[in-house]
Amino acid sequence: MNGAESLIRTLTAHGVDVCFANPGTSEMHLVQAVDAVNEMRAVLCLFEGVCTGAADGYGRMKGLPATTLLHLGAGLGNGIANLHNCRRAGTPLINIVGDHAIHHVAHDAPLTSDIEAVAKPVSAWIRTSRTSMGVGLDTVDAVQAALAPRPDPRGGISTLILPADCSWGEGRTQPKGPRFDDTITPLPVPDSDIEAAARLIGPDTMLLIDGSGLRQEPAIVATGRIAAKTGCSLYTPTFPARVEAGPELPIIERLPYFPEQILSLMASVKRLVLVGAQAPVSFFAYQNLPGYLVPDGCEVTTLAHRHEDVAKALEDLASALDANAEPSRPQGERPPAPEGGLSARAIAAIVAARAPENSIVAADSGGGGAAFGVMQRTVPHSWLNLTGGSIGGGGPVALGAAIACPDRPTFALLGDGGAMYTNQFLWTAARENANVTTVIYSNRQYNILEVEYRRLGVNEIGPRAASLFDLSNPDLDWTKLAEAQGVPGTRATTCEEFDAQLTQAIAEDGPHLIEAVL
């Protein structure tokens, strides 16, 4: 067994068995190993940002890392934007990056680059293997680091760089040992902290919740009980990685986007309790607005850090408060689908009306993101948000989620600008017959930029500036872009058309794309 095979077999022994791959010559022994190890599923992507985004979506749904397989620093570089999002999501992920043989690096051949330097801004753990016999142990460390609870803002991304001679040299597999599980268990929050929090929560308190507090149903139910008992308000950050939501669960509102909106909301908050979340800050800096959005006089307490057991802390807090009463639940009914002209609001209502129970919804634009408020009141689903602000995440994240959960209908709600960065996810969705329905909010502009430009105080946008926000001239034809990559595509200009096309996409297996012309 060579080093490459020891890597793949060690991964599968640890439950890591999906690889989003875009290999090159330096990864040929790894391809050979994938061919030899049936337990590893390899999914080809035609651009590395699709690999990293899909691995993020997979990890958000599974709680286990997928791997990428990337080609030296240039391949890893193409994956950086979605690794940035993944790092903000705190998703476990393992990059496997092939490199030249160790003795070849000094020749500075054309593809040679400083891979560790490329990896550094987006990795919590980096190692370049130095011997083929050590690759198995390096792999265990990579998996452990990806799953280890950590306060590090670079999340759970491990990057293992494999020189070609460590691939082709003799290797050995490392089995999973009992020590492994101990090292990945999050720290419990001390009882004294739970009790202290219980004493201070009241109607003027905001619980800001993230991480497992938004993912595990008992924790979410506990938040509703806490709110019912104390009158506190419940919020997620503006960009949570994943929220389990639906009419049977208590409503946890999402913080708005613009700083003045958050400031207005926070004005009446006297106590902010952070539960796996960070205190709210402005997404961008603006002249004459603060960056830190907690008002003077508001007391900030941390119930649980992101590396601690956030979900259990919420359940313990409910117990400490004797908050056993059933929380009020919205028991929403499916709204009737709207009719007439299409808008982001109408799309949200139609998706909320038609999405099957237990759907997964990924969004990476303002238009798509606005669907959350409707959907959490109408249909049980997992919501996957853009996290790091780098648009182009949503399509790959939906693809990875659909591969993690093939029985759950998955929706990608994407702006046209954002979807272009990583349009290649469509091809992989077609190849894998992934059950992803992609909705393109086709407003033919970078709408957020025009909004932000006007916030500078500019009332008249000159033609040269306007051209930089404009995605028309030429108009993108999303049905052709989808069909070019094997995905059936349709175009909707009215609610009725959109409703009919969405209904058909849901009824049929495999990927679909609907261009919703706004």
Residues 125-154 that bind a copy of itself (CB under 8 A): 153
Cβ proximity to a copy of itself, 80 vs 314, nearer residue: 80
- Which of 20, 372, 441, 478 binds a copy of itself (CB under 8 A)? It is 478
Tokens of 170: 């003799």
> What secondary structure does DSSP assign to 1-13, as a single string?
-BHHHHHHHHHHH
Task: State the number of CA atoms in the 13 A half-sphere of 316 facing the CB.
Answer: 18
Count of residues interacting with a copy of itself (CB under 8 A): 98
- Beta strands in 210-291, from DSSP E residues, in sequence order: 233-236, 242-245, 253-254, 271-275
Interface positions, 259-298, toward a copy of itself (CB under 8 A): 278, 281-285, 287, 291-292
- Which of 6, 7, 8, 29 binds a copy of itself (CB under 8 A)? It is 29
Cβ proximity to a copy of itself, 111 vs 200, nearer residue: 111
477 binding a copy of itself? (CB under 8 A): yes
258 binding a copy of itself? (CB under 8 A): no
Cβ proximity to a copy of itself, 176 vs 480, nearer residue: 480
Q: Shortest Cβ distance from residue 202 to a copy of itself (Å)?
A: 28
- Beta strands in 324-482, from DSSP E residues, in sequence order: 359-363, 381-385, 410-415, 436-442
- Which of 14, 84, 150, 377 binds a copy of itself (CB under 8 A)? It is 84
Cβ proximity to a copy of itself, 378 vs 422, nearer residue: 422
């139910």: which residue's tokens?
221
Q: Shortest Cβ distance from residue 81 to a copy of itself (Å)?
A: 4
Q: Are 249 and 213 in contact (CB under 8 A)?
A: no
114 binding a copy of itself? (CB under 8 A): yes
- Which of 265, 486, 493, 497 binds a copy of itself (CB under 8 A)? It is 486
459 binding a copy of itself? (CB under 8 A): no
Tokens of 43: 């999914």
Q: Shortest Cβ distance from residue 102 to a copy of itself (Å)?
A: 9
Tokens of 118: 């490329």
The site map against a copy of itself for 185-214 (x = CB under 8 A) is: ------------------------------
Identify the helix (H) or strand (E) that includes residue 152. Answer: none
The site map against a copy of itself for 212-241 (x = CB under 8 A) is: ---------------------------x--
- Which of 141, 152, 253, 483 binds a copy of itself (CB under 8 A)? It is 483
Tokens of 124: 């919590």
C-alpha pair distances (Å), 103 with each of 163, 164, 288: 9, 10, 55
- Which of 192, 331, 459, 473 binds a copy of itself (CB under 8 A)? It is 473
- Which of 6, 11, 14, 23 binds a copy of itself (CB under 8 A)? It is 23
Contacts of 9 (CB under 8 A, 6+ apart): 1, 33, 37, 173
The site map against a copy of itself for 402-431 (x = CB under 8 A) is: ---------------x--xx-xx--x--xx
| Separation between Cα atoms, residue 123 and residue 41, nearest integer Å | 24
Sequence letter at residue 82:
N
The site map against a copy of itself for 309-338 (x = CB under 8 A) is: ------------------------------
Cβ proximity to a copy of itself, 264 vs 284, nearer residue: 284
Strands 66-71 and 205-209: unpaired
Cβ proximity to a copy of itself, 32 vs 504, nearer residue: 32
Looking at 25-33, 185-193, 215-223, 267-275, which segment touches a copy of itself (CB under 8 A)?
A: 25-33
Tokens of 190: 């001390």
Looking at 9-17, 242-250, 328-336, 454-462, which segment touches a copy of itself (CB under 8 A)?
A: 454-462
CA 416 to mean position of chain CA atoms: 19
Q: Shortest Cβ distance from residue 307 to a copy of itself (Å)?
A: 16
- Which of 44, 184, 320, 370 binds a copy of itself (CB under 8 A)? It is 44
Cβ proximity to a copy of itself, 164 vs 398, nearer residue: 164
Contacts of 275 (CB under 8 A, 6+ apart): 207, 208, 209, 210, 213, 303, 304, 310, 313, 314
- Which of 328, 468, 500, 508 binds a copy of itself (CB under 8 A)? It is 468
| Separation between Cα atoms, residue 413 and residue 468, nearest integer Å | 23
Tokens of 330: 């919205």
Query: Cis before residue 175, ω within 30 degrees of 0?
Result: no
Q: What angle do CA 408, 409, 414 make, to 5 degrees?
A: 130
Q: Which of 396, 402, 434 is nearest to 414 (CA)?
A: 396
Cβ proximity to a copy of itself, 116 vs 496, nearer residue: 116
390 binding a copy of itself? (CB under 8 A): yes
Q: Are 475 and 447 in contact (CB under 8 A)?
A: no
């009419």: which residue's tokens?
247
DSSP 8-state symbol, 78: H
| Separation between Cα atoms, residue 395 and residue 46, nearest integer Å | 14
Q: Are 426 and 438 in contact (CB under 8 A)?
A: yes
Q: How many residues appear in the chain?
A: 518
- Which of 1, 12, 17, 42 binds a copy of itself (CB under 8 A)? It is 42
